[in-house]
Amino acid sequence: MTKIWEFEDLEKRETVYKVILKFANSLRDDTNGVIEGIVTETTTENNPEIVYGFYLTVPKLRNYSYRLFEFRQSSIVEPYTVYATLYAKDPINNQFFESNTVPDFERKLLGWIKNPITKLVMQSIKVHMDIMDEYQKD
């Protein structure tokens, strides 16, 4: 019998999840494993939306996690538009963007990684780790 159902070559398709994982792996590599990027996925039965959480996780601090980004994907069939949130300490400073293409999504996400809010969160984690290191020496 001739094959009726076939998959497109999905290995080459850049998905929202693959982009987020690429940035998560880069975080681990760039910080020598001190801070890891953990990506969670949430779906609900009655809603086609997929929500990805991007957490900064610090293994040395009992896996302390800080939700830095959240990405809402319309559906698994139509992955773009993606709605994104950057979480600041004070919710009034949260930032948002939406993206309709992979290059635009990557560009905007990279901009958020260089954002002062992200830098402040990363610096706060580093300061806390330095204090813990100093405390543990005594």
4 within some domain: no
- Are 10 and 23 in contact by the 8 Å Cβ rule? The answer is no
2 within some domain: no
pLDDT at 88: 84
pLDDT at 45: 78
3 within some domain: no
47 within some domain: yes
Residue linked to tokens 């635009």: 104
20 within some domain: yes
pLDDT at 80: 82
Alpha helices in the chain (DSSP H): 16-30, 102-113, 116-137
Please list the pLDDT of the chain residue by residue as tens digits (138 residues): 777 877 666 556 778 889 999 999 999 999 988 999 999 999 877 888 899 999 999 998 889 999 999 999 987 777 788 999 999 888 888 999 999 998 999 999 999 999 999 999 999 998 888 888 777 775
**What is the span of the domain harbouring residue 45?**
13-137
8 within some domain: no
pLDDT at 129: 84
| Structural domain total, the chain | 1
pLDDT at 138: 59
59 within some domain: yes
131 within some domain: yes
pLDDT at 132: 81
